[in-house]
Structures are given as structure tokens and as C-alpha cells.
Structure 1
Amino acid sequence: MPIEDLVEFIEKLENAGELKIVKTQVDANLEISEILSRVMYSNGPAILFENVKNYDMPVLGNAFGSMKRLEIGLEMNDFTEIGQRISDMTRMEMPTGIFDKLRKLPELSKMTDIAPKLQKNGPVTEVIENTPSFGKIPILKSWPKDAGRFITFGLIATKHPETGVRNLGVYRMQIIDDTHALMHWQKHKRGAHHYDIKKETGNKIEAAIIIGSDPATVFSAVAPVPEGLDKYVFAGITRKTGIKTVKCKTVDLEVPANAEIVLEGYVDPSDIRTEGPFGDHTGYYTPPEPYPTFTLTGVMRKQKPVYLTTIVGKPILEDAYIGKVIERSFLPLIRMFHPEVVDFSMPASGWFQGMAIISIKKRYPGQAKKVMMGLWGMGQLALTKFFVVVDEDINVHDLNDVVWAITTRADAARDTIIINNTPTDTLDPASPFVNLGSKLGIDATQKTKEEGYQREIQELVRSDESTKKKVDSRWSEYGI
């Protein structure tokens, strides 16, 4: 059975020795962040702060800060399994005749199993706040020059104004006062798209901020799923069973019934204020910019909720591990469109959006560039700055192997491409303009005569096979 909520996840982490409970009083103003950053940089455990100054609510941080904790939370060791489930569903043939329908029932039932299930009540409806306020929640100030306190791990629920498809996204929110916050909706994100549609009609858009849920739902909010796929359905795919939802009290949205806290409200396009600066996952403070205001209209919560948070900064921090799961889980989807792809890696030190390395089984000239162009046209990969394409014999997760391939198989003039005036991540500190910059592609595959390589391909240095077997058999004798 999948993990049902954050509390169950905490129990599993504690049983696995992956959780440290801090009973000493700590301050949500910079102190918790300083502790968490030290723990994350040293590959430490998840931390549950039970005694937060001026608050009754405990704070959980670094809950997803290792591959082991993600394996516990998502209950799997091979994360490609998630993408494979989606891939398998897209290949499912729809039944035609009555006997074909009967034969296909077991497969079709899987689609029903992953759909969200609306309930009248749930754990998150235990308490309905009469006077909603951000003031009762231990929201952190992370870095000294941050503009204030920021919600960093809120799952922002919206729905497409025309299709009704539900979305969950993680966008930071700067607290202004007890009932107002700024919604950092980057232009390329799906929540921002929903907002823009409403903005064109001059209307506000309803939103709900979900704090804490089961690990699969949290992961689903972060994951850049294919356009048009309902995030609640994706959560069901990840969990292998549909999530339970409840209706909000003041807005027309459904939220996970197992959430710790739900903050209901709306985003008003006519109320724009300056947001930031904020110390972000690039390792730099993002400068102040105008963003729309979220107005709080209601709060639902558990009787004793836990505030789930994270901090971001110069890699490698907690978000790097979630990014690695995204990388693994979406590999089967990449292969659906580009079957020549063998493996795929987005190094954490490049804050994931900055760089991707792709290995391919090369069959024809120019194939590496074809793959680059195709991937730059796939969803959030459009924001990736650097692509390096290597042959299948290169380990994309070993940067030493990748650098060797670049320096021995790529010629600077022939094998690099630069594309100007392309979409970039809003947070990219190097782009000459916000949201607009350039791409660099490096073809580090072995070139052929068809690609203009006029020399004989040099032979790779390899050990003698018979000597390898001899040494293998006698290795213990050497005393090494």
C-alpha cells in the first residue's frame, strides 16, 4: 500500500534511521535555514524541529534529501518505472467488440484505479480556520537578504480555465501580511499559463496552496509532466492508486484529503507588487520583479499539522535528489519520441535546468543534432541551456567520461551549435534578458566520413581479453 500522508512518511523515515528530531527551540527566522543548509550539504538526515519559537507547529525539512528517502517515500528502487507506466498506457489499444472489451477489462481497470476519488471529508478538514492567516504558520526566512518569509514547498493547485485539467506546481510565495502573498509564477510554468488565460478575460484565478501530502503527490507537483496530463492522475500513476481529494471551502478546487494544511484564495492580475530578492537554487539572489498577489480566503488543516519546507541555494541541496528522480522517471518518455536515446543525465551541479547529457545509439550522420533539436522542443527541456550528446559507450553519469568524450570526439568549429534568442529559465543569472537567451549544443559522438571526418578513426585502447581473464582468476594471489 502507498504511503498515505506526511505523518506516515515521517514514521517510515524514523524507522529507517533517516530522521533526526530536534527538541531544542529554534527560530524560523534564518536559524532553521542555517541548520538545514549545513545538514543538506553534509548529506545528513531529514530533520523534524518540534520546538519552533512563537509557533505550535513542528517543521519538517530535508525530507527528500537523499535517494534512499525518495525510495522509501515513493516505494520503488527503479524510478524509470513511473515513466514506463505512462508509456505503456499510451500504447494501450482501445477495445472494439464486446469480447475484445471483456478481454481488455483488466487493463482498463488500471485507468480507473489511478483516477482521484472525491470524498466529503478528510484529515485536512479536521480544522476550518474562522479567521484565515499566514501568521500561525512557521514560514521560514531562508537567507539574510531575502525580502521576507517565503513558502518554498507549497503545492499550488489550479485548474485550466477552459479544459478543467488540474495542475500542481511548486512556486515560491513571499508573505506580505497575514492574508497576502506574492505568487512567483514563472512565465513558462503551467500555473502561469492558467493565470494568463484568466488575466486575458480580466478575471482572478482561484488557487490553493497545499502544505504537506504523501510523497507521491509532492513529487507529482514538482514533476514536469506532459502537457494535458492531469497532475492528480499523474499522482495516481506514481502511487499505483488514485489519491483521495476533498473540496475547498472558499474556492472551487479539489485538494488532497491527506494534506497537512491547505491555504485557499485567489490571484488577482490587477494587484501586482514587487517580489524578491530571494536566494534561489542557482546559488544567486534573484532580483526584485513584479508578480501578482495571492489573497488568502480560507484555511483547512489537520488538528496537529506538520509544516513541510525546504531551502534552496547553491547546489547540491535537497532539490537535487528530487531532480534526479525526475530525470530517471522521464527517461522512458524521452525514448518514446527519440528511440535512439540510451541514457540521460542532468547534473545536479548545473541546477538541472542548466545542462543535460544524452547518450545515443548513433546510426546516421547528424543524428546527435537531430536529438538536440527534438529535446529542445519537449516541455521544460526547452529551458535547458547546454546539451551534450555522446555515444552509447559513454557513461552520462560520470562527468570524467563525458569530458573525455568532449575532448576526444568533438571539434569546436564542427561540433558545436549556438542558437540565439531562445527561451531560458526565468532564474538564469547569465541570460542577457529575463526569459530570453541562447543555447549551446555539443556533438561529442564519434564522427564518420559522411559527417566530413577525413581521417581514419583511431582505435580505442583496450586490455587484452585473455590477460584480463588471467588476472581476474588470480587477483586474490596478488595481495592487492
Structure 2
Amino acid sequence: MAFPDLQSFIELLEARGELLRVAAPVSRDLEITEIADRLVKKGGPAVLFENVVGSEYPVVIGLMGTRERTALSLGVQDLDDLAAKVRALIDLKGSGGMMGMLGNLPKLRDAMNLPPKRVKTAPVQEVVWRGDEVDLSKIPVLKCWPLDGGPFVTLPLVITKDPDTGERNMGMYRMQVMSKNTTGMHWQRHKTGTKHLEKAKAKGQRLEVAVAIGGDPALIYAATAPLPPIPGLDEFALAGYLRGQRYPVVKGLTVDLEVPANAEFILEGYVDPQEDWVVEGPFGDHTGFYTLPDLYPLFHVTAVTMRQHPVYPATIVGRPPMEDAYLIEASERLFLPAAQMILPEIVDYSMPPAGVAHNLVVVSIKKSYPGQAYKVANGLFGLGQMMFAKVIVVVDEGVKVGDLDAVWREVSAKAVPERDTLTTRGPIDVLDHSSRGWGYGGKLIIDATTKRPEEVGSPKSSREGQADDTALDVFFPVVFAPTPLRGGELPTFEGILAQRQTPDGYWIVALDKTRAGQARELAQAFAAHPAADGVRHLLICDEQTDVNDLNDVWWTILNNIDPERDVWTVSDGLLAWDGARKLPEEGFVRPWPPKIVMDKAVRERVDALWHVWGLPEKWR
């Protein structure tokens, strides 16, 4: 059977009623983004735009825009099947004599499918541009958001090779088109591409780079997956394992790199480590905020190869939920068995969309001794890209980690501020705009598990002052029922635009912050107000937050806090979260980025053209 590719997946989606075709002209400048954003947030279909203004190539977007389509793209019925598939592979029997060893053979055959397979000819090399023929403007690269620095390739599979070991790496790093034959290369300091570039610089060499666009959706996913450092396990191997076939690769025409034979486009070229870096950005990023301009390496495209009739795949990132949420969920399921091998008490974990992957991790555990929640959380901080996690909430095994309402109820009921919260420091994603330093900041662990006797009775363990009396706390949580508001009883304070109290102990405030210290003054004033009785958490958001939308609230809070600086115990049992923007007068020297918002004129134009494009009204 032929290895799946992008166009065969498009055909599959269309046959299942999961893809729409748009024949009328559409602009790659913001219009496609606005359409795709509406569809993904309403669970709509993928779209193939057949007539993109200024390009002869069609654009497909939203291929993995639902949980079901993501599972389909990876060859499983449900994303939970990924965990079972990996668990079957790593659970090799090492005992039981000859019969026990023979039982491993089917699993070992699966593992043997991991190495890619070299082929001599490939669809992706049917058409070749070299030298002056290279013109990236002919490819329909999208400008996604109004403040973006230009068009960005958003699904690039960037391939490099370690100059010392020859070990291959494939990663997904956004690429801003700078000219007809150059792009930025967004290699952050923790990325493997950066390490390869540093090694090339030490050797006085250019670093060869190949960028695949398209191919099997399983390979597109693999480029985003946080693979563990296991020899022989790379993105081609992961895609091959998911498909049960060796992935077909072909040698590049002008670079000594193997590239996906069934991709749509390949950009071949180099990065020169001796060159000055260039300004890249702004970019409307997966955090839902703009990443501000910064310096990154320049990628020189010396050749482009492609299919005879290629399709350009794209995705957009921004305010959640977006398509990347389902890729993140796939990684959760895929790597759950590995996490459980290292931390066997883990029952499940989730990185919900409001946490944009690295800001919030919820983990449930089978608890058997005191302090186990902190052991698990600290263990997770040490696992690969989990080191970037900002807030880890640990709950009991019966709690559904994907149900954020249930999780925050557990936090309110079972986590006494200060007694059951712990702040620490560590690496932070470099896209985090609120951290104390670039790539370095505070972290918060919340123990929302049922407490054992040894875990209670510490100072400030309860608001009733029962610091030394553990009788009420043994094996069950201290639970405070919020006092319902009496008519008109709302705290007043400078800058409050909207506020509300939830039934489970949260007070949410939208604050127009205009001066230093305003959030802390608000927290102190609130703590002294009668309405604070029974409230566990004061959530201070920025002026753009909808206090009635808990996903918007937590998305804002988690993006805008450095826990060490912005989460504190105001009074005994009351935790304040300052998710308002930080000011230079407060010692925050970096620029504060804006939230991503589409231009009103673009929204209105898309409204007017929706039926012209033949898009169903229910997805409008």
C-alpha cells in the first residue's frame, strides 16, 4: 500500500464530509485566517481554497481541527488509542523463557518499521526551481494576523543534521518570508536546530537546512511531538511506527539531507552562522498574544522542489481553542505511558487549551503517602519539554483532568492557599511574556489532593485558625462554602470594570490597571471586604477579559502571571492571582504584548463574502 500523503488525506476528509471546497477568490492576507478561526472554534470542517489571489497553488487549512480528525490523521479511532499503542510497544517481556521472548516478536516487528526507507525518485521532486527561479511569493504563504511582520510558513517541517554526529532532527519552527529567497528561522535557545547551528559555527561551516511543507499528516504531527532523547527515535521513526510502515525519504537535490518523498514542497538551502541575525516578527502566536520582534537566523533558499500539482497546507495559531490544541492532546496521549513508567502513580494528565500547552498541567495521581503530589509535580518538571510548565495542579485519581470546572472546584475545596501551594523557579518557554526573565521564571504547584494527617496542621492551614488541630483535616479536605452575595454587595475599587463571584469560591475582576501596585492594593481592599468571606481565589484579569467566560479568564491569568511575583496569599486562606498587565514602573522592563484581535474591517468583509465562498451559515 502507498504511504499516505497530504492529498490522499484531503480526499479521505472530503469523502467523510469533513472538507469544504471554496472556488471563489480569497485573499491569503487575513481572510483565510478569519474563516479558519471561525471554523475551528465551532468544530467546523477543513477547507480547501482552490483560488488564492496571487498564487496558482491551492491552500488547505484545518486538517486536524477537531479531535476526531486528528485521530483520523494518525491512523487511530480515538486519540486515547495512541497511549495503548505505545504501551504495547514499551511493555516488552524479558522473562518466561523461549515462549515469553517469542511473545515479543509482533512488538519488535512494529519497532523495526521505525527507520525511514530511502527511495530514488519522489513526487516532491517533479518540479524544481533553482537559483534565480526561486520566488517564495509564488507560494501562498499566509499573513495570519493584523500586526504580523509579514507572511509566515506555519506548518514547516525543518530538517537539519548534527554536524558532529550526523543525527537528524525535524522540528516545526515558524518561518517569516523576508524576500523571494530568504526567511527567518525561529530557532529558540532550547531547540535542537539552535544546537546544530552552534556546532556548525564552531566548525566554521554553513548549516544545511531542508524544509518540507506537506506530506503525511502523521509526519506533520511528529514534527511537533516532544520526542524523548532515545537513539534511533526521530520524527520519521515516529511517523513510521504510527503507520506501521517505513517512511519514504529521498535525498535532497542540493543538500545532503533526506527529505519526505511524499511532501508537497521542499525548500532547500542553508543558514550561515557567521551572518548577523535579522529582525523577525511580530507574530500572532499560539499563546493568543503577539510575540514581539526579536533577532533570529536567516535561512537562504537555494532551491525549491515540489509536486506537479501541489497543495499548500497551513494552520493558524492564536487565542484558544485552535487546531494546535488537538496536536497537544495527541502528545498527551502518546507520551502518557512513558510518564507513567517514570512516575507510576500518575493516572492521567491534561494540558488544557486555556493553558496553551505550557502554562497549565493537570495531573491525577493514585496517592498513597504524604507529599506525593509535590514529588510528582517536581518529577514532571524534569521530563523533557515539561520543564516549561508554569502551573501544575495535582488532583485525586477520580477527578477528570480534562474537565477544568471540576479541577478548579477541587482546587477550591482541597487546596488551602500557602499550606497546599508551593512556588519555585525554573526554565520557562521563551514565548512567555510575563516571566521574570527571558526563558526563566516562577512556577506554582497546587496540591488539590485529599490530605493525609502529616500534610495538615501547619501554620496558616485554615482560615479558622486551627493551626494545630488536625482532627478536622484528617483524610478529607477543609471545605469553605462561599457566602452568596446579598443584593448590591459588590466591592468597589479604582479601575474595576466588571466582576463576579462563582459558586465554588472564586472572585473574578476585570481591572483597568493604570498605575504600579494597583492590583495589590485591590487585593488588600478585597480581603477586608465582607464579600471575601468564603472566597479562596481572587482572579485579577486585564481590562479585555470577559469575567463571565472562565476559559477567557484562565487563559488571561495563566499567560499574564509569573507565579513567584504575581500569585500570593493576601490573608489566611485567600490567594490572589494578578493577571493584569505589568507596568515599567513595577520593574517590568520588557514590552507587554497585545492580545490577538482581528481587524474589524476584515471581519466585516468575511461576513459579506461568506455566502459568496459557499460556506454554510452555521459555521459563520
Q: Which runs of 5 or more residues in structure 2 are unaligned?
A: 458-469, 478-620
Structure 2 CA distance, aligned partners of 1:109 and 1:416?
A: 47
TM-score (norm 1): 0.91
- C-alpha distance after superposition, 1:437-478 (max 9, x if no partner): 111110111111122351244769xxxxxxxxxxxxxxxxxx
Structure-2 residue corresponding to 1:182: 184
Structure 2 CA distance, aligned partners of 1:281 and 1:185?
A: 16
Q: Work out whether residues 80 and 331 of structure 1, in 8 Å CA contact, stay in contact via their aligned partners in 2.
A: no
Structure 1 CA distance, aligned partners of 2:228 and 2:156?
A: 21
Structure 2 CA distance, aligned partners of 1:385 and 1:317?
A: 20
Structure 2 CA distance, aligned partners of 1:444 and 1:413?
A: 12
Q: Which amino acid aligns with 2:381?
A: W
Structure 1 CA distance, aligned partners of 2:434 and 2:274?
A: 30
2:413 is paired with a residue whose SS is: helix
Determine if the alignment matches structure 1 residue 366 to structure 2 residue 371: yes
Q: Work out whether residues 148 and 282 of structure 2, in 8 Å CA contact, stay in contact via their aligned partners in 1.
A: yes
Structure-1 residue corresponding to 2:223: 221
Structure-2 residue corresponding to 1:474: none
Q: Which amino acid aligns with 1:455?
A: A
Structure-1 residue corresponding to 2:593: none
2:259 is paired with a residue whose SS is: strand
Structure-2 residue corresponding to 1:336: 341
Instruction: Trace 1:318-329 onto structure 2 (pairs within 5 A).
Output: 318-329=323-334
- C-alpha distance after superposition, 1:241-271 (max 9, x if no partner): 2111100011111111110001011112222
Aligned length: 459
Q: Which amino acid aligns with 1:394?
A: V
Q: Which of residues 393, 399, 405 in structure 1 aligns to 2:404?
A: 399
Cα distance change on mapping 1:98 and 1:374 into 2, 3 Å: closer
Structure 2 CA distance, aligned partners of 1:174 and 1:132?
A: 16
Q: Which amino acid aligns with 2:299?
A: F
Query: Sequence identity of aligned pairs in percent?
Result: 45
Structure 2 CA distance, aligned partners of 1:298 and 1:82?
A: 37
Q: Which runs of 5 or more residues in structure 1 are unaligned?
A: 461-480
Structure 2 CA distance, aligned partners of 1:164 and 1:79?
A: 33
Structure-2 residue corresponding to 1:69: 69
1:28 positional shift: 1.2
Determine if the alignment matches structure 1 residue 134 to structure 2 residue 136: yes
1:16 positional shift: 0.9
2:70 is paired with a residue whose SS is: helix
Cα distance change on mapping 1:104 and 1:394 into 2, 3 Å: closer
Structure 2 CA distance, aligned partners of 1:435 and 1:338?
A: 26
Instruction: Trace 1:266-277 onto structure 2 (pairs within 5 A).
Output: 266-271=270-275, 272-277=277-282
Q: Work out whether residues 113 and 237 of structure 2, in 8 Å CA contact, stay in contact via their aligned partners in 1.
A: no
Q: Work out whether residues 93 and 103 of structure 2, in 8 Å CA contact, stay in contact via their aligned partners in 1.
A: no
Q: Which amino acid aligns with 1:132?
A: V
Structure-1 residue corresponding to 2:528: none
Structure-2 residue corresponding to 1:251: 255
Q: Work out whether residues 208 and 264 of structure 1, in 8 Å CA contact, stay in contact via their aligned partners in 2.
A: yes
Instruction: Trace 1:59-98 onto structure 2 (pairs within 5 A).
Output: 59-92=59-92
Cα distance change on mapping 1:103 and 1:278 into 2, 3 Å: closer
Q: Which of residues 471, 485, 491 in structure 2 aligns to 1:455?
A: 471
Determine if the alignment matches structure 1 residue 242 to structure 2 residue 258: no
Cα distance change on mapping 1:29 and 1:368 into 2, 3 Å: same
Structure-1 residue corresponding to 2:41: 41
Q: Which amino acid aligns with 1:74?
A: L
Cα distance change on mapping 1:168 and 1:347 into 2, 3 Å: same
1:192 positional shift: 2.3
1:412 is paired with a residue whose SS is: coil
Q: Work out whether residues 354 and 386 of structure 1, in 8 Å CA contact, stay in contact via their aligned partners in 2.
A: yes
Q: Which of residues 181, 192, 195 in structure 1 aligns to 2:194?
A: 192
Instruction: Trace 1:134-173 onto structure 2 (pairs within 5 A).
Output: 134-173=136-175
Q: Work out whether residues 3 and 215 of structure 1, in 8 Å CA contact, stay in contact via their aligned partners in 2.
A: no
Structure-2 residue corresponding to 1:32: 32
Q: Work out whether residues 40 and 317 of structure 1, in 8 Å CA contact, stay in contact via their aligned partners in 2.
A: yes
Structure-1 residue corresponding to 2:613: none
Q: Work out whether residues 85 and 237 of structure 1, in 8 Å CA contact, stay in contact via their aligned partners in 2.
A: no
Tell which deviates more after alignment, 68-77 or 213-222. Answer: 68-77
Q: Work out whether residues 282 and 429 of structure 1, in 8 Å CA contact, stay in contact via their aligned partners in 2.
A: no
Instruction: Trace 1:45-60 onto structure 2 (pairs within 5 A).
Output: 45-60=45-60
TM-score (norm 2): 0.71
Cα distance change on mapping 1:105 and 1:326 into 2, 3 Å: closer
Tell which deviates more after alignment, 129-138 or 53-62. Answer: 129-138
1:129 is paired with a residue whose SS is: strand
Cα distance change on mapping 1:174 and 1:91 into 2, 3 Å: same
1:230 positional shift: 1.6
1:71 positional shift: 2.2
Structure 1 CA distance, aligned partners of 2:80 and 2:352?
A: 17
Q: Which amino acid aligns with 2:388?
A: L
Q: Which amino acid aligns with 1:373?
A: N
Structure 2 CA distance, aligned partners of 1:165 and 1:141?
A: 34
1:330 is paired with a residue whose SS is: helix
1:4 positional shift: 1.0
- C-alpha distance after superposition, 1:312-340 (max 9, x if no partner): 11111111111111112211111111110
Larger RCO: Structure 1 or Structure 2 (Cα < 8 Å, ≥ 6 residues apart)?
1
Q: Work out whether residues 453 and 475 of structure 2, in 8 Å CA contact, stay in contact via their aligned partners in 1.
A: no
- C-alpha distance after superposition, 1:181-229 (max 9, x if no partner): 1100112222222223323333221111111111111111111111232
1:274 is paired with a residue whose SS is: strand
2:242 is paired with a residue whose SS is: helix
1:83 positional shift: 4.5
Structure 2 CA distance, aligned partners of 1:403 and 1:2?
A: 47
1:293 positional shift: 0.5
Cα distance change on mapping 1:459 and 1:374 into 2, 3 Å: closer
Cα distance change on mapping 1:35 and 1:374 into 2, 3 Å: same
For the aligned residues, what is the CA RMSD? 2.2
